[in-house]
Structure 1
Amino acid sequence: MNLLYMNDRRGHYPDSVYAATKTDLAPFPRLRGETRADVAVVGGGYTGLSAALHLARAGLDVVLVEAHRVGFGASGRNGGQIGSGQRQEVDWLEQQLGAEQASRLWNLAEQAKELVRGLAAEASVPVRDGIVHACRNQAEVDHARHMAEHLRESYGYDRVETLDSPGLAALIGSEVYHGGDVDWGAGHVHPLNLALGMARLADQAGARLHEDTHVHRVTHARKAGEKTIVHCDTGRILCDHLVLAGNGYLGDIEPKVSARVMPINNYIVATEPLGNRFPEVLPRNTAAADTKFVVNYWRLDDERRLIFGGGETVTYRFPKDIVGVVRRHLLSVYPQLADVALTHAWGGTLAITMNRMPFFARPAPNCLSASGFSGHGVAMATLSGRLMADAIAGQAAGFDTMAAVTTRSFPGGAMLRGPLLVAGMAWYGLRDRLGF
């Protein structure tokens, strides 16, 4: 099973609204023959592009290879939300890891948002402010209020505004939720343009980017003085350091990672531009997400298209009717949009871990890996690239803080990820439909 080619044509972006509205960036050449570098980076999404950019700006010779196009994977087809914090909330982190470690992880996540906003500004990619979190019951509303107070009192973060049911309805234009909050320090962005902008910055910094170059094997250096060899379909790279940044598309290149990181699929649709119709839908141009396990998430783009993600399937192959999968979730939030045309529908592969925290690891002495962002990757994946670049340059504190979060292997490791996907998505999809 190769998820790189199961659902997509090689070298082509999916038929997403992002691909239809992206800024132009000329293709980068394939790798041809053998080349040498200080650092090789496998994967051209946020993680790899950020690593390549920061390594090149630090004066290192870096080669990045991407099997398709830069931003092809989850980085170019996600919901575009730049969320605060880690994937797990600070109360979970405090309980599992202690208050001191939770504080360090929160601070890193704040750095992640700042980094994304800074890179987006460099690349002239607009960032819009605010993410609404919509709760399905009163217990969740109470928890949201508690967390807002806790963040303000213990972390000095005062950007979260709690909302009762009418207040939330006024911000999203739907009355199906019980309340929630809006985080004005979070934001949303055109995700593919962010990736393309980072690629442009990395190229300008001197990184050598190669698209349409599939890595199928890595030979790690076994002793001092040896080079790591990255074997590609069109050549190979000899390097001193290796960054693995394939996330859900890494496959079995590194078994120590694949045992702990499970690819899953998610699906998104985009409406026709709403124009002046439905002014109640996200009137302050925030993004939004709800509290389902298989989360619904949505935002408006600059043409007032509603971009809405949600829905689960239990196979790795994308369904033929993605519109049918997502439409019922969209209409469960916005029944008033029943007659609005859906012009684009696409799927993508992200990656999760057992504890929903990203997995940072050193699979070999000169190899760094970060993956499994569990739907929280716009900010954290971008930061992870910088943290790996810092670690290669000798400043490993941030990487080590993330790597200290223990991530268990999935039962049965990589061999049973497929059956686990079927069982897990069926179970959690049922829980969501029953309202748990």
Structure 2
Amino acid sequence: MLKFANQPHAPSWYAATANDTTTHPALEGAIDADVCVVGAGLTGISAALNLAERGHRVALVEASRVGWAASGRNGGQLIGGFACDIDTFAQFMPEAEVRQVWDMGLETLDIVKRRVKQHNIDCALTAGYFTAANKARDVDALQRWRDEAAQRFGYDRFQYVDGDDVGRYVASARYAGGLYDPDSGHLHPLNYTLGLARAAREAGVRVYENSPVTRLREENGGHVVETARGNVRAKFVVLACNTYLGDLAPALSRKIMPVGTYVIATEKLGAERMNALMPAQAAVCDSRFVLDYFRPAPDTRLLWGGKVSYSTFAPPNLGDAMRRDMLKTFPQLADVKVDYAWGGYVDITMNRAPHFGRLSPTVYFAQGFSGHGVNTTGLAGTLIAEAIHGQAARFDLFGKIRHRDFPGGATLRTPALVLAMAWYRMKDLL
């Protein structure tokens, strides 16, 4: 984790519009806590806040800055449920427990909305999410999913949109229809993360930045979390590092793969032009496996995400490459410049299901959000806090899911994934 220390936030539109410039000291000397949380992204902050609210003394240790990694630079899309198909869970648990997982997928949205309101977090939270169908077969799949959600889980909020009405959400001839979800939405992820960190501090969490953890060891029935200039002695440890776990827990690192994701922000379009482009102001993603996703920003920029890189190499001339993709959907933006371009890693699991569990009875982890981290991290923090506080039933549901190592080891797993993703890209084109 040392190579990620002392780094600024990505040069994003989010960093340029961050509304909290609070900095935190590096860890110096030895301190005691009930729980040490490693990683000050949304997972770690959520766990720390939930634990502090339950009366635990919490130290939160971050290698770089609060929200430095995916939590502070992602697409900002708030998507109910999980990145995997719901039947991924059905392979490992009975239908009654699948229903519990479904309900928790909706709870992820409620957690974000409650935290924003409770802590007065200024993060431009906006309702509405539209999945745009690229092909007729995708329309059929979205309609089947709408019907299954209603019949199987009693969720009747999805609204099918036929091709003639797509313009209510996105002014593009590229899509054949879609599915609108009024409960999902979008937000400014860095400001949300910084707002949660403020709430955690106010609840008593001690936050340390620029303090990469160099070693975890056991001592006298507890744990010592070591950094270059200090350490935390704690009964419990929470690993919330995701892609940046490094060598702290190699068994966990083998279960996830770093994937490059990228976003651009256009120049300001003006209210009239933005409203014509996306009248409902909803977030949008398309229905391909290797997808594009985009949304309006409060200052009338278009935020466009895509160009997922499974090789971990960023596309050359990132801003220009992303802009070319944007113009495939919005040729009417040919005169528009790109003001910001940025990216970084998120983590995925083999089956795209989140990976929650324990390395030992007192070392917890959560990782593998696979692109749904903005809200699923809030659930992870809630469940970890429940488990440490003595109520582990909900957390242990996720422990039933078997997660495989990525094949190929450290050397060959990335090339293997690149080949697999080439197949999916080809399917998207057919």
Structure 2 residue aligned with 1:86: 82
Which is worse superposed, 188-197 or 286-295?
A: 286-295
1:227, distance to aligned residue in structure 2 (A): 2.0
1:242 to 237, 242, 247: 237
* 1:91-110 C-alpha deviation (Å, 9 max, x unpaired): 55446644223211111111
Distance 1:95 1:170 in 2: 38
Distance 2:108 2:2 in 1: 28
Distance 1:287 1:322 in 2: 22
2:73 to 64, 70, 77: 77
- The two structures have a TM-score, normalised by structure 2, of 0.94
1:163, distance to aligned residue in structure 2 (A): 1.0
1:391, distance to aligned residue in structure 2 (A): 0.7
Matches within 5 A, 1:313-332: 313-319=309-315, 321-332=317-328
Distance 2:100 2:279 in 1: 35
Aligned residues, how many? 427
Unaligned runs of 5+ in 2: none
Does residue 376 (structure 1) correspond to residue 372 (structure 2)? The answer is yes
Provide closer, same or farther for how the CA distance between residues 100 and 342 of structure 1 changes in structure 2, counting only shifts above 3 A: same
The SS at the match of 1:312 is strand
The SS at the match of 1:173 is coil
Structure 1 residue aligned with 2:405: 409
1:425, distance to aligned residue in structure 2 (A): 4.1
Provide closer, same or farther for how the CA distance between residues 371 and 101 of structure 1 changes in structure 2, counting only shifts above 3 A: same
Structure 1 residue aligned with 2:120: 123
Distance 2:67 2:374 in 1: 12
Structure 2 residue aligned with 1:263: 258
1:415, distance to aligned residue in structure 2 (A): 4.8
2:207 to 181, 196, 209: 209
Matches within 5 A, 1:2-401: 5=4, 10-94=6-90, 97-121=93-117, 122-125=119-122, 126-220=124-218, 225-275=220-270, 276-319=272-315, 321-401=317-397
Unaligned runs of 5+ in 1: none
- Please tell me whether the aligned partners of residues 82 and 188 of structure 1 are also in contact (alpha carbons under 8 angstroms): yes
Which is worse superposed, 231-240 or 390-399?
A: 231-240
The ranges of structure 1 where at least 4 consecutive aligned residues each deviate by more than 6 angstroms after the TM superposition are none
- Please tell me whether the aligned partners of residues 123 and 201 of structure 1 are also in contact (alpha carbons under 8 angstroms): no
* 1:200-237 C-alpha deviation (Å, 9 max, x unpaired): 0000000000011111221245xxx4221212122211
Distance 2:313 2:215 in 1: 24
- Please tell me whether the aligned partners of residues 72 and 190 of structure 2 are also in contact (alpha carbons under 8 angstroms): yes
Provide closer, same or farther for how the CA distance between residues 427 and 216 of structure 1 changes in structure 2, counting only shifts above 3 A: farther
The SS at the match of 1:280 is helix
* 1:249-305 C-alpha deviation (Å, 9 max, x unpaired): 112211121111111111100011110225331111100111222221111111111
Distance 1:426 1:146 in 2: 27
2:258 is matched by which residue type in structure 1? Answer: P
1:189 is matched by which residue type in structure 2? Answer: L
Provide closer, same or farther for how the CA distance between residues 301 and 106 of structure 1 changes in structure 2, counting only shifts above 3 A: same
1:370, distance to aligned residue in structure 2 (A): 0.6
1:412, distance to aligned residue in structure 2 (A): 3.3
Provide closer, same or farther for how the CA distance between residues 29 and 330 of structure 1 changes in structure 2, counting only shifts above 3 A: same
| RMSD of aligned residue pairs (Cα, Å) | 1.9
Provide closer, same or farther for how the CA distance between residues 176 and 168 of structure 1 changes in structure 2, counting only shifts above 3 A: same
- Please tell me whether the aligned partners of residues 128 and 282 of structure 2 are also in contact (alpha carbons under 8 angstroms): yes
The SS at the match of 1:310 is strand
1:254 is matched by which residue type in structure 2? Answer: A
